[in-house]
Amino acid sequence: MASTTKAKTRKTKPKDSSSLNEDEVRSIESLRQSFDGIREELSKVIVGQEDAIEKIFICMLSNGHTLLMGVPGLAKTLLVNSIAETTSLSFGRIQFTPDLLPSDVTGTEILQDRKDGEGREFTFIKGPIFANVLLADEINRTPPKTQSALLEAMQEKRVTVAGKNHVLQKPFFVLATQNPIEQEGTYPLPEAQLDRFMFIVRMDYPQREEEIMIARQTTMGATAKLKKIINGTKLKQYQELVERIPVPEHVFELAVDLVRRTRPGTEDAPKWLKQSVQWGAGPRAIQFLIRGAKAHALISGNFITTTDDLEAVAEPVLYHRIITNFHARSEGITSSEVIRRLLEEARQEER
C-alpha cells in the first residue's frame, strides 16, 4: 500500500523549471538517467531492496552518511560494494571488532628510512577510511573510542594523527551497518553519535518471489560484471546541482514545524506526543530533511521541491532522532508510528 501511494504522489508533482537555466535542466535529466542506470546495474546482483538503493543514492547526492539496519544475510555488504563499483569510486571496508583501535581506522605513523638514505623519518600510512565509499561493518561491535574516531572523521572530513591533519578524499560517504538482533558484546551508538548519520535505512527480508530469484542467481556459478555509470567528478556535480534546486517557503516551514513538533518539552508538540516521546530531533534534522527532499525531487525528474519529497525522506531522517519513552515502548508505539502520525496531522492542516 505504501509503495502505491508513493507512486501516485510522484505523478502529481509539478515540473517547474522556470527558476533553472537550460544547463541545469539538462543536468537533472542526466542525473535521472544515471540513477536509472545504477539501479539497472545493481539489479544484476541485488534482488529487491529498491527502497534501500534509492535512499542510499539520495544520501550520496545530499553528501550525507547512511546507517543500514538489518539482520545478517540481506546483502548489505554486497550492496555497498556494488554501489561503489557502479560509481567508479574507491571502496574501503572496516570490520568492526571489540579489539579494533582508532589507528586501525584512521591510519598511523611509522618510522622508516628516508629515501635519500640520510636518517629516518615518520611516514603516515593511510587507514581504510581514506576511500570514497567506506563500509563500516557492524559499527556497534567496537568500543566508543574507536567509534568516535570514525564519527569525527564523518563530521570533519579529515583525521588527525600525531597532531597533523589529513584531509579525506572527496566525495566521502560512510555506509555503516548494525545488526539489530544481537546485543551481547556490542556498544550501542549514543543518540548524539547517531545524529551524524543523515539516514537510517532499515532493510527487511525479501518477498518469496525475490528469494526464489536470489536462490536461482546465487547458485548457478555466474557472476555479473557491473558497468561504471558515473565517476566521482560527475557525482560532485550532481551534489552541487542538489544545492541549487529551489525550495518553496511552505516546504521550509513544513520541515521546521515537523521537527519542532517532535520535541516533547516545547509548546509545538501535540499532547499525545508528549506522553510517548522522551527526546525529539534537533536542528540538523531540518537540514537533512531539506537536502534529502531536494535530492528526492531530482531523481524523480522534478525541478522544484514539494511536500511530497519531504514526506518521502521524513522517516529515514527522523527515525533515529525520535526517542520513545518506556510508556510508548510498553504500548508498542515506535518512532515510525510517531512520524506517521505527525505527517498525517500536517496533511490535515494543509487541507
Q: Which pLDDT does position 184 carry in this prediction?
A: 61
Q: Which residues of 91-124 are buried (b: 16+ CB within 10 A; e: fewer)?
A: bbbbebeeebebebbbbbeeeeeeeeeeeeeeee
DSSP characters for 168-191? PPSS-EEEEEE-SS--TT--PPPH
For residue 301, give the nearest of 6, 36, 15, 5 by alpha carbon.
15
What is the rounded distance in angstroms from the CA atom of residue 51 to the CA atom of residue 140?
24
pLDDT tens readout for residues 23-35:
777 888 888 888 8
CB neighbours of 335 closer than 8 A, spacing ≥ 6? 318, 319, 320, 322, 323, 324
CATH architecture of the region 1-20+245-351: Orthogonal Bundle (1.10)
What residue spans define the domains of the chain?
A: 1-20+245-351, 46-239
Angle in degrees, CA 191, 69, 276, rounded to 5: 50
Cell representation of residue 323: 526517542
Can you tell me the mean pLDDT for 213-240?
A: 82
Can you tell me the mean pLDDT for 289-298?
A: 94
Confidence of residue 47 (pLDDT cuts 50, 70, 90): confident
Segment holding 165, helix H or strand E: strand 164-167
Topology alike, domains 1-20+245-351 and 46-239: no
- What are the phi and psi torsion angles at 238 (to 5°)? -65, -35
- What are the phi and psi torsion angles at 161 (to 5°)? -130, 125
- Of these ranges, 35-39, 56-60, 86-90, the one predicted with the greatest mean pLDDT is 56-60
Instruction: Say yes or no to pLDDT of 134 above 60.
Output: yes
pLDDT tens readout for residues 142-166:
888 888 888 888 888 888 887 788 8
What percent of the chain is predicted at pLDDT more than 90?
A: 23
CATH architecture of the region 46-239: 3-Layer(aba) Sandwich (3.40)
pLDDT tens readout for residues 165-207:
888 888 889 999 887 655 666 777 877 778 889 999 988 888 8
Cβ–Cβ under 8 Å, residues 152 and 52 = no
* Average of per-residue pLDDT values in the chain: 84
For residue 86, give the nearest of 234, 231, 242 by alpha carbon.
231
Can you tell me the mean pLDDT for 274-302?
A: 92
Can you tell me the mean pLDDT for 64-79?
A: 84
Of residues 5 and 245, which shows the higher confidence score? 245
What's the chain's Rg over C-alpha atoms? 22
Can you tell me the mean pLDDT for 106-118?
A: 78
